[in-house]
Amino acid sequence: SAVRTEPIEVYGMPAGYSTVVSGGSHSCALSANGGVLCWGDNQYGQLGDGTNTSRTSPAQVYGLSQGVLAIAAGRAHTCAMTASQVLCWGYNAYGQVGSGNRLDYRTPVAVVGIYHPPTKITAGSDHSCAIQDNGVVKCWGFNSNGQLGNGTRDDAIIATAVEGVDGIDFNAVDAGERHTCAISTAGETMCWGMNQDGQLGSGSIERSTIPAEVQGIEQRAMDVALGNNHTCAVLEDRNVLCWGDNLYGQLGDGTTYDVWLPVQTNGLG
């Protein structure tokens, strides 16, 4: 297939799709009424259409024609959130589908261990997380660097609660390649997992298997977004701070030096 240097319309995409996510080599879209379409690589069933056939145009995810509130895409797995449960499908060698086993799934399956209605979902490279309506963050899948936040480095094939945050409720979460960050309802930013580039914002490059508070943020954080090995947060005053890997200038501070603490992103106005 040809590389495109200019935007082209997605072939066969109906009107009314307002949310799009992209994984390693696949993309999915969510409609206003909660239907999900996916396209791209389907080696592991990450398109959720019941096959392993890659698609060059959108295909309907099996059983998800309505009722989905949010979607997330990992390297080769995909997740969807309804009002009552989290569903995932695709590559599952590390348990990132959350089904209680390590079998790949070509259609959506309910994540085991989500006992309260979910409010947010996210997918990292090979792990997934959700926030329940009781403010508890649960994660599952690959845990090589503690990115599940449960105090271990063992993979989890069902959703497990993030440890060390008793009494703290969360309302935002995002997952990177091998680290995860969340924001509490009080606006505190916490991260856990891999930290070789300072992406946890702790002032060191030591990994953490439980949430650690990001240092140097003096205002309430409103949202957080993670790349593979860097992190950014939007503050209450709408300024953006970033930290971690900066080889390509992805922190936006005018340098290409990694930083272990948040720095101001320049030029956003």
The 10s digit of each residue's pLDDT in 51-78 is 999 999 999 999 999 999 999 999 999 9
pLDDT band at 14 (very low <50, low <70, confident <90, very high): confident
pTM, rounded to two decimals: 0.96
Which pair of structure tokens corresponds to residue 83?
Answer: 């009002």
Average pLDDT of 150-179?
97
| Residue/partner pairs of 82-88 with CB below 8 Å, 24 or more apart | 82/34, 83/117, 84/117, 85/110, 85/111, 85/114, 85/118, 86/110, 86/111, 86/114, 86/118, 86/121, 86/128, 86/130, 86/159, 87/111, 88/128
Q: Which amino acid is at 156?
A: A
How far is the C-alpha of 40 from the C-alpha of 25, rounded, in Å? 6
Q: What percent of the chain has pLDDT above 90?
A: 92
Q: 1-10, 187-196, 241-250 — which is least confidently predicted?
A: 1-10
Quote the mean pLDDT of the chain: 96
b/e map of 107-133 (b: 16 or more CB within 10 Å)?
Answer: bbbbbbbbeeebbbbbbbbbbbbbbbe
Q: 173-224: per-residue pLDDT in tens?
A: 999 999 999 999 999 999 999 999 999 999 999 999 999 999 999 999 999 9
**Residue 58's CB: how many other CB atoms inside 10 A?**
22
How far is the C-alpha of 227 from the C-alpha of 189, rounded, in Å? 16
How far is the C-alpha of 164 from the C-alpha of 7, rounded, in Å? 45
Q: Quick one: which of 44, 46, 125, 51 has its CA closest to 87?
A: 46
pLDDT band at 1 (very low <50, low <70, confident <90, very high): low
Residue 153 near residue 136 (C-beta atoms within 8 A): no
Q: Quick check: 2 pLDDT over 80?
A: no
Q: 250-265: per-residue pLDDT in tens?
A: 999 999 999 999 999 9
CA angle, 123 as apex, 120 and 128 as ends, to 5°?
85
Residue 71 near residue 80 (C-beta atoms within 8 A): yes
